[in-house]
Structure 1
Amino acid sequence: MLVAIPAALAAGLCFALAGVLQQRSASARPADEFLSFRLLLDLARKPLWVSGIALAVLAYGCQGLALAYAPLTLVQPLIVSELLFAIPLSALVLRMRLRRREWCGVLAVSTGLVTALAAARPRPAEAVADPGAWLVMLAGVGAATALALVAGRHAGGTAKASLIALAAGLVMGTQSVLLAATVERFDGGAAAVFTAWQTYLLVGASIGGLLLIQSAFQAGPLAASMPVMDAVEPAVAIAAGVTLFGESVRTGWPAGGVALAGLLLLFAGIVLLDTSPLLKALYRRETADRAPEEAGRAAGGTAEGGNAGGNGPGEGRRRGRG
């Protein structure tokens, strides 16, 4: 525990810093890059964003160190501490102070998520998922992700960020399940890994999940996206573990009641943050900061078009005079 607890808290802090840096970079990108792979290509050239990715890699290393000394049921709740670090840090970077409403929302999300995970206490099993179960799970997640994306495209304000974060959480939760299925094949050697369809879907889910995360960061403040992703990702992973691999969770009394109370508290915290006037002000500030760059890009495009259109006749007249 002397190693696991500090390592898990360090992972939470690194994840928080990574989220702040990535969101700061993504929020400055123009709106026409939303849900486009151009967003990732442009962000990859930004040192601030690359630093965020490096911190995320360091966070995964700290998480792995913690898991080597303690069970997931202890480590995962401690990593949720990223919310307690990330949202205040994000407000600090933007030079805005969190009020009581925002602090209550952050604490409600963190406490609710930790309570639900601790009460459910997922337990591993040795069952192997059949193709039919995989198909049902992937179809369900795919449909839910598509609905979240459609709703997110038509939403405005902080709701857009939360809905895209919902899609990101669904995809990244599925990515965690695919990663577990791929790791299980390591004992069979490279042939077992590279002949499994889960390996290739894992790559696709990782890239798609990264794009959705950055699009959620681009769409609104960190407090509108990170709590949703932190809630949905483990929920999908646990649900898939139960349905695919026969893992068990505690559903009887009082554990089931405590888990339900944690989920309700989590939902209440997300609503508090999503409807916060401060977060709406943050959203307006980020939108205003991005407007001059977008206007410049639009003006540049118009000027180029005008020059291209104006050069033709001039060139023709010069040639005619010659």
Structure 2
Amino acid sequence: MLLGLLMALAAALCFGVAMVLQALGAQRHSPSAEGSGLLGTVRAMVNLPFAAGLLLDALGFVAQLIALRSLPLYVVQAALAGALAVTAVLGAALLRIRLGRAEWAGVAGVCVGLAVLGATAGAEGHKQPGMAFHWMLLAAVLVIAAVGGFVWKLREPVRAAVMGTLCGLGFGVVGLAVRVLPAIHGLDLWPLLSEPATYALLAGGAVSFVFMTEGVRGGKVTTATAAMVLGETALPAVLGVVLLGDRTRPGMLPLALAGFALAVVGALALARFGEVSPVEEAPAEVAEPSHPTRIG
């Protein structure tokens, strides 16, 4: 379990630092210089900080996979939402983003909540739902994609909230899919290739990234990120308990619930750091940027 906790925290750290590095990289290429279309966005990604951020995203994903194989789902998903605390602290130091009292309280809430979860978490559940559940995960991704296509042209801020929620649910499917994947023995990859949960994992990650991108394009970063945090934590946590058998240590359920709630509420207080950008010297509010970044 200790390895799983370390991997969950490492994933949050990687995702949080990746956000800041990608923001630094994006600053080097203004839309006016690179163009506002897809080509300009791609050019803005071709620099060392942005590439380093993408590498950290990949490392964070690997750490997340390891954590999900040894920890209850509710712990890992809450830890990933806690990546916003890493981004907030680094953003304050490197991007001159000003943190108010509420945001520092959010950072503290995430840290305390995750500490409580780590202290109260039991071992991962060992229930194995039937193959029908594996196919349901893949079907869920298709439903999420279809709903996203249907609401694509909604007006803001409803569009951002729906896109963020769909993104969070997609990442929740990723977490559930990892938990039900079969073990690999040697170089025999057929169990993975023939497993619908494998394709649910891949498709869920891709769909979620697209919807998070679209959720923040309208400038409603806080709305989209808050919806994503709720989508990727609440429902997957419940399903992990009900279907996969995740449990807390004996007698610690109330404390674990309090820690989970504290971590999620803290992450919601930091939702605007789903996108980070530098602050002008004396603005009343932080301007929201145009380069979306996934947190976990």
- Classify the TM-score, shorter chain: 0.5 to 0.7
Q: Residue 83 of structure 1 aligns with which residue? A: 84
1:82-126 per-position Cα deviation (integer Å, ceiling 9, x unaligned): 333211222444423212121112322443455457546463214
For the structure 1 residues 105 and 153, does the alpha-carbon distance in structure 2 shift closer, same or farther, using more than 3 Å as the test?
farther
Q: Residue 14 of structure 1 aligns with which residue? A: 14
| Aligned partners of 1:11 and 1:60 also within 8 Å | yes
Equivalence map 1:52-63=2 (5 Å): 52-61=53-62
Match of 2:258 among 257, 261, 274: 261
CA drift at 1:130? 4.0
Letter in 2 for 1:72: L
- Partners of 2:107 and 2:154 lie apart in 1 by 26
1:147-194 per-position Cα deviation (integer Å, ceiling 9, x unaligned): 8994995334xx87665433222101101222333x406349333332
For the structure 1 residues 167 and 99, does the alpha-carbon distance in structure 2 shift closer, same or farther, using more than 3 Å as the test?
same
For the structure 1 residues 17 and 248, does the alpha-carbon distance in structure 2 shift closer, same or farther, using more than 3 Å as the test?
closer
For the structure 1 residues 268 and 240, does the alpha-carbon distance in structure 2 shift closer, same or farther, using more than 3 Å as the test?
closer
Query: Aligned pair 1:101/2:99, yes or no?
Result: no
Q: Residue 286 of structure 2 aligns with which residue? A: 282
Q: Residue 176 of structure 2 aligns with which residue? A: 177
- Partners of 2:18 and 2:188 lie apart in 1 by 33
- Partners of 1:201 and 1:13 lie apart in 2 by 25
Q: Secondary structure at the match of 1:186?
A: coil
Alignment gaps of 5+ in structure 1: 290-322
For the structure 1 residues 137 and 271, does the alpha-carbon distance in structure 2 shift closer, same or farther, using more than 3 Å as the test?
same
CA drift at 1:281? 1.9
1:39-97 per-position Cα deviation (integer Å, ceiling 9, x unaligned): 998378533433211012233455678x59x9536984776663332112224444232
| Aligned partners of 1:18 and 1:51 also within 8 Å | yes
Q: Secondary structure at the match of 1:154?
A: coil
For the structure 1 residues 239 and 194, does the alpha-carbon distance in structure 2 shift closer, same or farther, using more than 3 Å as the test?
same
Alignment gaps of 5+ in structure 2: 274-278, 292-296
| Aligned partners of 1:26 and 1:218 also within 8 Å | no
- Partners of 1:202 and 1:29 lie apart in 2 by 33
- Partners of 2:284 and 2:173 lie apart in 1 by 30
- Partners of 2:173 and 2:263 lie apart in 1 by 21
TM-score of the pair, normalised by structure 1: 0.60
Q: Residue 317 of structure 1 aligns with which residue? A: none
For the structure 1 residues 75 and 235, does the alpha-carbon distance in structure 2 shift closer, same or farther, using more than 3 Å as the test?
closer
Q: Residue 301 of structure 1 aligns with which residue? A: none
Instruction: Provide the alpha-carbon RMSD of the alignment.
Output: 5.1
For the structure 1 residues 120 and 9, does the alpha-carbon distance in structure 2 shift closer, same or farther, using more than 3 Å as the test?
closer
Letter in 1 for 2:16: A
Identity of aligned residues (%): 23
- Partners of 2:216 and 2:24 lie apart in 1 by 8
In terms of Rg, which structure is larger?
A: 1
Letter in 2 for 1:99: G
| Aligned partners of 1:178 and 1:198 also within 8 Å | yes
| Aligned partners of 1:17 and 1:86 also within 8 Å | yes
CA drift at 1:129? 2.3
Q: Secondary structure at the match of 2:130?
A: coil
For the structure 1 residues 269 and 140, does the alpha-carbon distance in structure 2 shift closer, same or farther, using more than 3 Å as the test?
same
Q: Secondary structure at the match of 2:129?
A: coil
| Aligned partners of 1:122 and 1:238 also within 8 Å | no
- Partners of 1:178 and 1:17 lie apart in 2 by 26
Q: Residue 167 of structure 2 aligns with which residue? A: 168
Q: How many residues align?
A: 275
| Aligned partners of 1:112 and 1:264 also within 8 Å | yes
CA drift at 1:132? 6.0
| Aligned partners of 1:122 and 1:248 also within 8 Å | yes
For the structure 1 residues 106 and 212, does the alpha-carbon distance in structure 2 shift closer, same or farther, using more than 3 Å as the test?
farther
TM-score of the pair, normalised by structure 2: 0.64
